Chain A
């Protein structure tokens, strides 16, 4: 279909479209490529007063290190500033957030998709309201109780908080996926004598994986990308990558070690890059799941 429409397009429009896409691709992708390249240079090249082409050729980098590429930024960030610790923390948090929020979200989303009562609707509306609230507005509510009860600073506390903040969106997404699984499927199992739980366990779980994987990706992204909650609820040694990068800015900008932050930013982007590459279709289907239905 696409071929026939493009064939019918007049030449001028075709050129305009292609040019527009090209410009958009440059705007979208070039900053990442540029920063990746620049992260292997020294600061005076990446932020060059004399000539911006220095960032490409690495004149200063050659002068300072003898090679056009240097790992100084990465070494400084990962070893000197203990960035590796934040990487481990981030992946611990993401792993447990995804597992927990999928487990409880699947149960809740399934229940919402199968109930015919009025409260199902209201629960979804409440979830929508929770989804609309900026997470940082909740943080001042957490701090005082967490300090009082000695819960502040731990990875486990943050995991539970992130799971809860994730739930509204997870519920909406899973609700819309489960609604697409025909009701007859589990109902006929129940007619055959299964309990609701058995029907869920043996009939629904085997067919729900595409929706669950997509939802899991979004839980992962939310946990991975969170700044407001993790920055406020984690102690220094438990910090995740994003607050750590923000910390670099405060301390190293003045010392002239911006390259640590550049290297850390590139390190934090690489997993996302791979994620999009592998799961592009699931991300697209997740984004559209809520929308196309209405």
Chain B
């Protein structure tokens, strides 16, 4: 394709992405280096019969004017990055100096909002992804062995948790595990503890969110693996059978190597998607025990205050996190591509 025609074909989509993805990133980076103007104070002299007193007052009009004239705010450089709501370097220094043991240090570290969110985001990402792959693979193997007529039906029901809006899906589960819901009620009965509540304990909240994550994304892994299973070379399978390989050996040495690229693919997509975990925390009303990076951005932007600068700073840190997560893939793609040419 000639450069010229490529340019015109690609122009509309490029324009959309530059205007609404690239420029916003620039805007986010810029805003992360500003803070909103402080309120303007004026000294007013109040005189009465007892004499004159000087008072400091907020000049509302001047504040509004200043904020309207310079909506970006005041430039502070990287100050936002190191304050208490983000990297909190000075707080960490203090904690480091005052705490005796590692567990104490980590415990105090997780009281800082950014590290609390980071910890949950990473645990969620790396705990749910393997389970998603494993469960998806098991379902794919079982469905593959099913009768042809049943397959469609099973695929239909399996797709539901994946297709449904995350917030809706998490609400549906949340209502069931409520202490007055069917699952919560049964768990109380099984554990023989009428006060058991999944929402009260931080550990159980994390487990619950991870279970939701697996429930939501396992169908995706299943569909990918199921499609891969249809292309397993039958010749290899048959020769393995003739050579006396057991069912397990055939799965281990023929099927799994064949779908390895798919496992990598699912792992990559799931790492990206799980890193942005957010809606389940809203749906499960779990923010008291579990926050994620996306959730703190949302929380900053929500409500009257709209802490745009703080949200922008967290956004930049999140994007850096995604870049680190993605870097092995990019390096590999780059290597594949240079090998090819």
Contacts and interface: CB of A to CB of B under 8 A. Distances in A.
A11 interface: no
A211 to B, nearest CB: 16
Contacts of A27: 215
Contacts, number: 290
B262 A139 contact: no
Interface stretch (B44-52, B57-65, B278-286): B278-286
Interface string A94-128: 00000000011101101110111100110101011
Contact of A107 (B10, B144, B168, B318): B10
B133 interface: no
A24 interface: yes
A210 interface: no
A277 B322 contact: no
A157 B337 CA distance: 38
A5 B301 CA distance: 55
Contacts of A135: 276
A284 B234 CA distance: 22
B190 interface: no
Nearest to A217: B163
B111 interface: no
A167 B16 contact: yes
B196 to A, nearest CB: 14
A130 B178 CA distance: 37
A191 interface: no
A227 B166 contact: yes
Q: How extensive is the interface on chain B, given as a class?
A: 35 or more
Nearest to B307: A140
Contact of A292 (B148, B151, B262, B293): B262
Interface string A13-55: 1100100110011011101101100100000001111001001
Interface of B: 1-3, 5-6, 9-10, 12-14, 16-17, 19-21, 23-28, 31, 71-72, 138-139, 141-148, 151-152, 154-161, 163-168, 171-173, 175-176, 178, 180-182, 185-186, 215, 219-220, 223-224, 227-228, 231, 234, 247, 261-262, 265-266, 272, 275-276, 278-279, 282, 285, 293-294, 297-298, 300-302, 306, 308, 311-312, 315-316, 318-319, 322-323, 325-326, 329-330, 333, 337
11 contacts: A28-B215, A48-B180, A117-B3, A117-B6, A125-B333, A127-B17, A137-B319, A139-B301, A144-B72, A164-B21, A287-B227
A160 interface: yes
Contacts of A280: 152, 155-156, 159
Query: On chain A, which size bracket covers the interface?
Result: 35 or more
B186 A294 contact: no
Contacts of A139: 297, 301, 311, 315
Given A105-B13, A276-B160, A143 B306 contact: yes
A34 B176 contact: yes
A141 B31 contact: yes
Contacts of B227: 284, 287-288, 291-292
